[in-house]
Amino acid sequence: MARALERVFVTGVGAVTPFGVGADAFWRGLAEGRSAVTPLRGPEWEAMPVRIAAQVPDFDPSAFMDGRSQRRTLRFGQFAVAACREAVRSAGLDLAAEGDEVGVVLGTAGGLFAAGEQQKLLESRGPRRVDPLFVTRYGPHMAAARVARELGLRGPNTTVNSACASGTDAIGQAFNMVRLGQAPVVLAGGSECITHPVAIASLGVVGALSQRNDEPERASRPFDRDRDGFVLGEGAGVLVLESESHARARGARPLAEILGIGWSFDAADDTAPDAEGQALAMRRAIEDAGIHPEEIDWVKAHGTSTPLNDKTETEAIRRALGRHAYRVPVSSMKSMIGHAASSSGAVEAVGAVLALEHGLVPPTINYETPDPECDLDYVPNRPRRLAVRTALLNAFGLGGQNAALVLRRVD
């Protein structure tokens, strides 16, 4: 006999963002409509065509890990531990009693670019100088593994990498684990730190990044006619996903409910986005949620601030929502915190949960000149007081992997 699907609640959130450590700092920045993009300082950036990014300021891993664990964990893993610790506190979970049942699913690219430093050591100083813990420090799987070790979690543990859709993918996979009864609680999200010279050089050469070096706070401008590329960011976002039965049994307060997940693949160009592929992910999420498109009150856009991506996403929203697309607000948090790549969907999911809780839609800042090809309501420049009940969250990965979540406020 088929088992009934569990409802899945978000009972806690944690964040490390360019606004600082903690979900409260993140929400203050979003609600104020501030830019967290700053100049990159140091000799390694002087010859770069792009010298701006949205970095996490003043992060101290010693607040979350002991010295030995810090040395064994790269920055992306440290962010993950910090965000997960906050999410657990936010949810009021007793890990001493429940750690054996708690899972971890995180999206990340790991130490993808930093790994080149070990290649240099191998070539210049020989094999004995290579980090003996290279695999356990740089591997993408080590964020989820380190979180579980630090917190004593023995539930399902896995890592997702699907480019910029990774964090949303991780939440979707965790959602399925919980509603299918495979784990009563899962820490789900993403963590990323690729503000590295190799990443910025590569993305800068192909023209993907904004080159507004003299006005960094105005560089990320999704859907604006004069957008010229995205701004690289970093950070971590984590949701505690919990089955309704488990949450009710321990008296947890739900912050939101996840209703549905939708995935698709563009099956088109290696790098250019495809509107029909993106729309398919949105339609599948709405269908999985068991709702009508007209029930969507807000779209949390992927909104990267590149000329092609924003135009394509606008068309995809029109295809997925039909005429309702012109009635629903659409906003991009990347206008304020940049694009944190693999963790962007997870960080922004934390922002979406907070938006539902506070009844305030974050703005798309730096929206100054409308683009005729981007003709929706992008919540320009100021947050909007709006009692959002149901939100659609988009995340689209470079290479064509698309994911969309439907999130609902719990009354």
DSSP conformation letters of 287-329:
HHHT--GGG--EEE------HHHHHHHHHHHHHHHGGGGGTSB
Residues 101 and 243 in one domain: yes
CATH of the domain at 142: 3.40.47.10
Residues 34 and 130 in one domain: yes
Boundary-marking domain end, from 250, 282, 316: 250
Q: Is residue 358 part of a domain?
A: yes
Residues 354 and 241 in one domain: no
| 81 contacts: CB under 8 Å, gap ≥ 6 | 61, 64, 65, 69, 73, 146, 147, 150
Q: Is 21 helix (H, G, I), strand (E, B) or coil?
A: strand
Residues 280 and 217 in one domain: no
Q: Is the pLDDT of residue 1 over 60?
A: no
State percent of the chain over pLDDT 90: 85
Q: Is 131 helix (H, G, I), strand (E, B) or coil?
A: coil
Q: For residue 390, give the nearest of 367, 342, 346, 356 by alpha carbon.
A: 356
pLDDT at position 342, please?
A: 96
Q: Is the pLDDT of residue 117 over 90?
A: no
Residues 225 and 322 in one domain: no
What is the tens place of the pLDDT at every residue in 241-293? Answer: 999 999 999 999 999 999 999 999 998 777 789 999 999 999 999 999 999 99
190: Cα separation from own chain's centroid: 6
In this structure, of 128-137, 275-284, 342-351, 376-385, the range with the lowest mean pLDDT score is: 128-137
pLDDT at position 339, please?
A: 98
Q: What is the mean pLDDT of residues 193-199?
A: 89
Q: Is residue 163 part of a domain?
A: yes
Task: Give the mean pLDDT of the chain.
Answer: 95
Kindly report the backbone phi and psi dihedral angles of residue 39, in degrees, each rounded to the nearest multiple of 5, phi listed first: -65, 150
Element (H or E) spanning 126, and its range? none
When pLDDT is cut at 50, 70 and 90, the band that residue 205 belongs to is: confident
In this structure, of 12-16, 109-113, 338-342, the range with the lowest mean pLDDT score is: 109-113
Q: Is the pLDDT of residue 310 over 90?
A: yes
pLDDT at position 206, please?
A: 84
Q: Where are the beta strands (DSSP E) in 120-273?
A: 157-160, 185-193, 234-243, 256-265
What is the tens place of the pLDDT at every residue in 53-106? Answer: 999 999 999 999 999 999 999 999 999 999 999 999 999 999 999 999 999 999
What is the tens place of the pLDDT at every residue in 313-338? Answer: 999 999 999 999 999 999 999 999 99
Q: Is residue 256 part of a domain?
A: no
Residues 323 and 349 in one domain: yes
Q: Do the Cβ atoms of 177 and 105 come closer than 8 Å? A: yes
Boundary-marking domain end, from 221, 250, 279: 250
Q: What is the mean pLDDT of residues 236-240?
A: 98
The range of the structural domain enclosing residue 371 comes to: 261-409
Residues 126 and 222 in one domain: yes
Residues 128 and 200 in one domain: yes
Q: What is the mean pLDDT of residues 303-308?
A: 97
Residues belonging to the active site? 164, 302, 339
Residues 245 and 271 in one domain: no
Q: Is the pLDDT of residue 370 over 90?
A: yes
In this structure, of 50-54, 107-111, 147-151, the range with the lowest mean pLDDT score is: 107-111
When pLDDT is cut at 50, 70 and 90, the band that residue 123 belongs to is: confident
Q: Is residue 372 part of a domain?
A: yes
Boundary-marking domain end, from 250, 284, 304: 250
Q: Is the pLDDT of residue 2 over 70?
A: no
Q: Is the pLDDT of residue 39 over 90?
A: yes
Relative orientation angle of helices 23-32 and 344-358, to the nearest 10 degrees = 70
Q: Do the Cβ atoms of 43 and 274 come closer than 8 Å? A: no
Q: Is residue 255 part of a domain?
A: no
What is the tens place of the pLDDT at every residue in 218-237? Answer: 999 999 999 999 999 999 99
Residues 193 and 88 in one domain: yes
Structure tokens at 352: 């979406």
pTM to 2 decimal places? 0.96
pLDDT at position 52, please?
A: 97
Residues 298 and 230 in one domain: no
Q: How many domains does the chain have?
A: 2
Q: Is residue 73 part of a domain?
A: yes
Q: Do the Cβ atoms of 185 and 94 come closer than 8 Å? A: no
Residues 228 and 366 in one domain: no
